[in-house]
Amino acid sequence: MSGDFKFDTLSLHAGHVPDDRHGSRAVPIHQTTSYVFQNTEHAAALYNMELGGHLYTRISNPTVAVLEQRIAALEDGVAATATASGMAALATAVMVLCSQGDHIVSSSRMYGANINLLENTLPRFGIETSFVDPNDLDAIKAAIRPETKLIFGEVIGNPGLDIMDVEAVGKIAAAAGIPLMLDCTFNTPWLLKPFHLGANIIIHSLTKWIGGHGVAIGGAVVDGGNFDWGQNDKFPTIAGPHYAMESINFYEEFGPAAFTAKFRAEGMYNFGPSLSPTNAFHILQGMETLPLRMQRHMDNTAKMLAFLQEHDAVAWVRHPTLPDHPGHALAQKMMPRGAGSIIVFGLKGGRDAGRAFIESVELASHLANVGDAKTLVIHPASTTHSHISAEAMIEGGLSDDMIRLSVGLEDFDDLKADFEQAFKAAGKAAKA
């Protein structure tokens, strides 16, 4: 049969058809470094990008390719490339796009490692970033310079939960002739497919909701194929002669998949941020249930928000589905199914009460991940965002008492009971 398969079907099947020889229904783990060439001509053709196929697992792998094709399908992209982590995806994407002297305009309200990479590491290689409030469209526009090559942000900011107006920022990027690249880890394609709003490149940490089980680290870069790399002279290594393959011009050869072709030929080849086939297999198992899990995440998040808002121990709660969130209307419009399963909140009693709460939860786990099937809590100011400056913390909307809660799939009554006992412990700590 043939048809336009829907999201739930693609989550289970995209990228894989059982092979004729073995008929393995599950995606096989191709745990191999290399692939036997048919002959010398075949080997040369693979290296020269004349054929599709695999030549070395640093560049591509059949199991990893199933994962990549499944993500590309779910995002309505032209192609995806998987990487060893979300940070590997971001770092490699920037290195593939930018050169010394280039500039990036980025949201100031993002995951700490994203900020660190742009603020502290990339300047050592001559790539500067201006950080702006992602909700201030005029500031984004004003920050663009002739050497700007990219606008970057998170659809749902981590951990402040700011919502980026993807359509509006996409228009700014398009008018400037530069791509909009978004970290979509918190929204997943189940909540939002940003290519339809004008985003051009998507970064995922697959470790989070897409994997969902917390057993494998992975990332991906998805190519929307909707950016014209030849419209100006800003991207000479994509739309001009490249050093490799007799001065290949990726734009002319591969059209909408030019960025992916360069990412594969240069990013994977030279930087080697490859995802292991076994991790790809694990992440694929998670992807199969992504739609089911996301619905449950949204249901439990709604219940948790109601619980926290009414609780005497809670000083404040922030989530884009709450009417007092500044991005509420935008979130409703962009993500009608929900705005993710991260909640941030503070306790009466401030940082000490928060610390006691985190140390008292028993069902919820205190750890550095989000998007797991299990409920997770952390104190960002002392952990995930501890490497960024106090100024950047304030600019990023982070307060010292903030607790980041990643709502899992447990029976909500059990979560509620766990939080009740932890709130009591926090109350005692605050009084002591």
Partner 1 sequence: MKHQLDEMPVHIATGGRPFDPTKTVVLFLHGSGQNHLTWVLQSRYFAYRDYAVLTPDFPGHGLSGGDPLPSIEAMADWVIALMDSLDVKTAVLVGHSQGCLVALDAAARYPDRVSHLGLIAGALAIPVNAQLLSLADHALAKAIGVMVSWGHGPMAHMHDNTQPGHSFIGYGNRLMDMNRADALRTDLGACNDYKAGPENAAKISQPALCILAGADRMTPVKFGQQMAASLANSRCEILPGAGHMLPAERPAEINAALRRFLPA
Q: Is 20 a binder of partner 1 (CB under 8 A)? A: no
Q: Is 102 a binder of partner 1 (CB under 8 A)? A: no
Of 240, 255, 272, 350, the one binding partner 1 by CB under 8 A: 255
Q: Is 322 a binder of partner 1 (CB under 8 A)? A: no
Q: Is 17 a binder of partner 1 (CB under 8 A)? A: yes
- The residue range among 75-83, 274-282, 288-296, 389-397 that interacts with partner 1, by the rule CB under 8 A, is 75-83
Of 37, 54, 167, 400, the one binding partner 1 by CB under 8 A: 54
CB of 205 to partner 1, least distance (A): 17
Of 79, 105, 339, 393, the one binding partner 1 by CB under 8 A: 79
Of 27, 29, 65, 409, the one binding partner 1 by CB under 8 A: 65
- The residue range among 46-54, 109-117, 359-367, 372-380 that interacts with partner 1, by the rule CB under 8 A, is 46-54
Q: Which of 15, 218 has the CB closer to partner 1? A: 15
Q: Is 13 a binder of partner 1 (CB under 8 A)? A: yes
Q: Which of 73, 409 has the CB closer to partner 1? A: 73
Of 68, 119, 183, 401, the one binding partner 1 by CB under 8 A: 68
CB of 123 to partner 1, least distance (A): 31
Q: Is 133 a binder of partner 1 (CB under 8 A)? A: no
Q: Which of 138, 253 has the CB closer to partner 1? A: 253
Q: Is 48 a binder of partner 1 (CB under 8 A)? A: yes
Q: Is 276 a binder of partner 1 (CB under 8 A)? A: no
Q: Is 69 a binder of partner 1 (CB under 8 A)? A: yes
Q: Which of 16, 109 has the CB closer to partner 1? A: 16
Distance between CA 340 and CA 58 in Å, rounded? 33
Report the interface residues with partner 1, using CB under 8 A.
Answer: 1-5, 10, 13-17, 44-45, 48-54, 60-61, 64-65, 68-70, 72-73, 76-82, 224-226, 230, 245-246, 248-249, 252-257, 260, 264
